[in-house]
Chain A
Amino acid sequence: MTTAVRTRRGFTLIELLVVIAIIAILIGLLLPAVQKVREAAARSTCQNNLKQLGLALHNYEGSRGQFPPAAKWDFDAPAGSPTNYNRHSMFAYILPEIEQGTVANIYTFDSQWSTAPNRAAIATPIKTFQCPSATNPRFTTTSAGYQRATSDYAPLAGLNPQLANLGVIQPRGTSGYTEGGFGLGAYQGFFVNVWKDRDPTTRHGDVRDGLSNTIAVVECAERPKLFVRDKEIAVALEDLDNPDNSTNGSGQVTGAPWSQPRIQIVIDGFTPGANTFFGPRVINATNASEVWSRHTGGANLLYGDGSVRFLRDSITADDFASLVTRGAGDIARND
């Protein structure tokens, strides 16, 4: 009798609850770890993308003797028709070097990037231009109703010299502005903006601070949505990298498509608490044409020598400025 009872005995409710509780705790421990692994994987994919861009840039340089421009603007084409000018982004120049020959074949430099002959090309999303940590819609649609694929990376053209004038960073020399020109003088970054295809762009010798001390391509993720710190906010910010006085729409940033010349950025500094430019924060403060990534604590950056490094967002504006300038004679302290 007693043996029969013993063999039929199941689990008590308490025992079941304890087991369930233990399993719950184990799952609770595991989930954050899984999230971390996923984020780490996304981060290394992102670094790999930048590495590919670095190789592409050097391939381009190897065959042409100079790097592509940050953007070609062709600004003084006769006014009248929008298509009288002919502008292209840095990413368009390196399409063949990242094995996007099919897109390169349908992209024509004879026509403005946004015009009809290029609309199939610019609607093509390219994985190498996207950070997997970012969740943006990957497309922006224009008022005319066609789509443009976006990029989470941006070529860096330099520092806004007003940062030095307003005392945010140490002065580095003259700005070297020329009437109608794009040169930023001592504040020039790795890439230069040019008017025409025949204008000289960056050569190895121009990067006097050293290729390994100069940032070439940065993360600027989630455009066209506007983020300040990690919050999407509805604020209308001025587009400082464009002197025609435009204001971005509320909660919007221009320059999201990889094919848009405005994707190139100039560091302006930011004060997140006040939502204003010319502040001390340079990484992960805002994605309004500043360095911003979805990675916790910093952003991935491609240097001129093709190396990819992760910079902490606590870096001071002045140290970062040393890494941005290509020939100011300022070598950043080791981070």
Chain B
Amino acid sequence: MTTRPTLAALATALAVVVGCGPTDSPRQAVVPAQGKVKLKDGKVPEGAEVTLLPANDDSPDGVKPRGRVGKDGTFRLTTYPGASAEPDGAPPGEYRVAIRWTTRKRASAVDPDEGGPPGPPSLAGDRFGEKYSNPKSSGLRVTVAADGSLSPSVLVLVN
């Protein structure tokens, strides 16, 4: 009977020893999630970048599900990028939302030798004027339900 606590103590000690060194926060279970944004006038901010920040977790290495707005206004969230560019989803819960729209109004020619579409580095001006770039002050919130649906289902933005 006494061996069991001893074993448990040993296992704990081992876990502590193994756990030393840099540890990653454990990955959370994700559900495929997609939402929709549109402008007040009904247009779509194609190419805008949507970043979710957990409502109650400000730790720098917390999850930050992200997605790009497509032609039809939908964005699919990726929490843990994998080998394919296919979005994996987001952990259910409440989030604050940041949206930046830095794609240029005028598309330019594509040079395949650039290794992808060309573009100026980092983030030209945000076409929302930074109104939604801070999730704490953007006023946008979404909840990811267990089935992957987002509420509100459409975020309406003012350009």
Contact = CB atoms under 8 A, between A and B. Distances in A.
Given A167-B53, A235-B82, A260-B115, A162 B120 contact: no
B114 A237 contact: no
B96 to A, nearest CB: 10
Interface in B92-149: 98, 100, 102-104, 106-127, 130, 133-136
Contacts of B110: 82
B76 interface: no
Contacts of A158: 122
A248 B79 CA distance: 17
B41 interface: no
B58 A273 contact: no
A235 B127 CA distance: 30
B113 A144 contact: yes
B121 A276 contact: no
Interface size class for chain A? 35 or more
A143 B119 contact: no
Contact of B118 (A143, A240, A244): A244
A71 B130 CA distance: 25
Q: Most A CB atoms within 10 A — which of B60, B98, B118?
A: B60
25 contacts: A73-B121, A75-B108, A75-B119, A79-B107, A81-B109, A85-B109, A87-B118, A144-B112, A162-B98, A166-B64, A166-B98, A181-B125, A182-B122, A184-B123, A224-B115, A241-B121, A241-B122, A242-B116, A243-B123, A245-B49, A262-B114, A266-B121, A273-B25, A274-B27, A276-B80
Interface of A: 70-71, 73, 75-77, 79-85, 87, 112, 114, 142-144, 157-158, 160-162, 165-168, 175, 177-182, 184, 193, 224, 234-248, 250-251, 254-255, 260-262, 264, 266, 269, 271-276, 278-280, 317
